[in-house]
Amino acid sequence: MSGLKDLFQSADWKKEKHSPVIEVSGKAKKAEPLEVAVSIGKEIPHPNTSVHHISWIEVYFLPENEKFPYQIGRFEFTSHGASVQGPDTSTIYTEPKVKFFFKTEKPGQIMAVSYCNIHGLWESTQDLQVE
């Protein structure tokens, strides 16, 4: 039996609609808020229907020379067109895109994990330098 770590998938987000795309706004400066955006389907839109959708994104930060990451946030997307009339009968659809701010004094790695209800867990990382 494989462990959870063996179930994560990754790919170039320009060719795969499930991979989280991490975008950092500007340069990170010690103890100053840094804006980060994470989205799914930047180049190839991911379906957002009752049957096929992104359920959540989690973001972590692993400071350089530390063993464990810190969870920055968990973002859930709960409206995928379903209503009491059935699948895809509502006009309410959430988009798997988030923007948040965090501070750090250390360089490290931003890690994002997303979950597609059909295609499972996807991950990506981005190195972060701090001035």
Catalytically annotated residues: 16-18, 46, 52, 116, 119
Q: Output the CA torsion 90→73→54→126 (10° steps).
A: 140
Query: 125: part of which helix (H) or strand (E)?
Result: strand 120-128
Quote the CA–CA distance of 49 and 23 in Å, as a whole number: 25
- Regarding beta strands 54-63 and 120-128, do their DSSP bridges make them parallel or antiparallel, or are they unpaired? unpaired
CB atoms within 10 A of CB 131: 8
> Tokens 């500007």 identify what position?
26
Q: Which of 74, 37, 63, 58 is nearest to 112 (CA)?
A: 58
